[in-house]
Amino acid sequence: MKNVIVGQSGGPTSVINSSLLGVYQTAKERGADIVYGMVHGIRGLLDEDVIDLSTEIRNELDMDLLKRTPSSFLGSCRYKLPDLEGNEDTYEKIFAILKKLEIYAFFYIGGNDSMDTIKKLSDYGKQVKSPIRFMGVPKTIDNDLMITDHTPGFGSAAKYIAATMKEVIRDGLVYDYPVVSVVEVMGRNAGWLTSAAALAKGDDCEGVDMIFLPERVFDVEYFLKKVGELLKENRSIVIAVSEGVKVADGRYVCELADHVDYVDMFGHKQLAGTARYLAGEVAKKYGCKTRAIELSSLQRCAAHVMARVDMTEAFNAGGAAVKYAFDPDPESKTGEGMTGMVVTLKRVLDDPYICITEPADVHEIANIEKKVPQEWITKDGTNVTDDLVHYIHPLIQAEIIPLWVNGLPHHIKRGHTD
Instruction: Measure the CA dihedral 112/116/117/122, to 10°.
Output: 120
Instruction: Measure the CA dihedral 384/388/394/395, to 10°.
Output: -80
Q: How large is the angle between the packed helices 16-29 and 60-67, nearest 10 degrees?
A: 150
Collect all residues with Cβ–Cβ distance below 8 Å to 204 and sequence separation of at least 6.
166
Q: How many residues bind ligand F6P (CB under 6 A)?
A: 14
Q: Is 196 in the site for ligand F6P (CB under 6 A)?
A: no
Residue 279 has φ and ψ, to the nearest 5°, of -65, -40
The answer to whether 142 is a known catalytic residue is yes
Q: Is 300 in the site for ligand F6P (CB under 6 A)?
A: yes
Least Å distance, CB 141 to ligand F6P, is 5
Residue 38 has φ and ψ, to the nearest 5°, of -80, 130
Q: Which residue number places its CB atom closest to ligand F6P?
A: 11
Among the listed residues 10, 22, 136, 394, the single contact to ligand F6P using CB under 6 A: 10
Q: Is 37 in the site for ligand F6P (CB under 6 A)?
A: no
Among the listed residues 40, 188, 323, 411, the single contact to ligand F6P using CB under 6 A: 188
Closest by Cα among 3, 240, 11 to 114: 11
Hey, is 61 helix, strand or coil? helix
Q: Is 141 in the site for ligand F6P (CB under 6 A)?
A: yes
CB atoms within 10 A of CB 172: 21
Stretch that binds ligand F6P, among 24-32, 116-124, 135-143, 371-379 (CB under 6 A): 135-143
Q: Is 78 in the site for ligand F6P (CB under 6 A)?
A: yes
- Distance of alpha carbon 69 from alpha carbon 410, whole angstroms: 8
Question: Where does 154-273 have alpha helices with state H?
Answer: 154-172, 192-195, 220-233, 254-257
Least Å distance, CB 187 to ligand F6P, is 5
Q: Is 270 in the site for ligand F6P (CB under 6 A)?
A: yes
Least Å distance, CB 350 to ligand F6P, is 26
Least Å distance, CB 158 to ligand F6P, is 12
- Distance of alpha carbon 397 from alpha carbon 306, whole angstroms: 9
Identity of the residue numbered 134: F
Q: What is the DSSP letter of 158?
A: H
Among the listed residues 145, 186, 196, 237, the single contact to ligand F6P using CB under 6 A: 186
Is the Cβ of residue 10 or residue 41 nearer to ligand F6P in the bound state?
Answer: 10
Q: Is 41 in the site for ligand F6P (CB under 6 A)?
A: no
Is the Cβ of residue 177 or residue 262 nearer to ligand F6P in the bound state?
Answer: 262
CB atoms within 10 A of CB 84: 14
Is the Cβ of residue 66 or residue 254 nearer to ligand F6P in the bound state?
Answer: 254
Given the residues 113, 142, 144, 209, the one annotated as active site: 142
Active site residues: 142
Q: Applying CB under 6 A, which residues contact ligand F6P?
A: 10-11, 78, 111, 140-142, 186-188, 243, 270-271, 300
